Amino acid sequence: MDKRVWKPGNMLYPLPAVLVSVGDESGRTNILTVAWTGTICTNPAMVYISVRPERYSYPMLVKSGEFVINLTTSRLARATDYCGVRSGRDVDKWKEMNLHAGKSVSLLHAPIIEESPVNIECKVTEVKKLGSHHMFLAEVGAVQADEAHFDENDKFELNKSGLLVYSHGEYLGLGERLGSFGYSVKKKRKKG
């Protein structure tokens, strides 16, 4: 197989495309789209987001030390893109995208986005200034999950919510189920 060599760059795709909501003590809030986010640790539950210091939300993040990672779905694709290309300096993204701010259960200033199937409430523990982006390491204080995604047995069916990912400049919906954790080593049942 022939390969092309490119200069060093970030080609780790797909990534979760999430809406991050922030707020401050004056009641000002904003939404920004982030694809550079992920899990850091299970215990304590920790995540990160990476944000450019020039972003309108950056001072709110630094001052409040709070943010909410709101998972996105195919229904939120337009809002996800819009909140990434429009600045809160110029527009009210909540109003323009008809999104509704809800109450966090563990944070003082950052609201959840009601339309998101999962809201991960985060408290910043450290900011790493890495270059073009600063990484906000955070402990998860609470997770809210939409009741609409629980089945009759009370199982959370997140993968049926139409989750959205970002890959090389495009938003994609998650598709076909290929397996589950451990399926490659699971013993097959004998019929009988």
Mean pLDDT split into 10-residue runs, the chain, 192 residues:
88 93 96 96 97 97 97 97 96 98 96 98 98 97 96 94 94 87 83 67
Q: Under a CB-based contact definition with an 8 Å cutoff, are residues 54 and 137 in contact?
A: no
Which stretches within the chain are classed as H helix?
Answer: 58-64, 77-85, 93-96
Residue with tokens 């004998």: 190
Residue 192, pLDDT score: 63
**Environment class of 43 (CB within 10 Å of its CB; exposed 0-12, middle 13-18, buried 19+):** exposed
Which of 147, 120, 126 has its CA nearest to residue 138? 126
Residue 115, pLDDT score: 98
Q: How many CB atoms lie within 10 A of CB 2?
A: 3
Please state the CATH superfamily assignment of the domain spanning residues 15-173 in this structure: Electron Transport, Fmn-binding Protein; Chain A (2.30.110.10)
Which of 73, 89, 126, 93 has its CA nearest to residue 21? 93
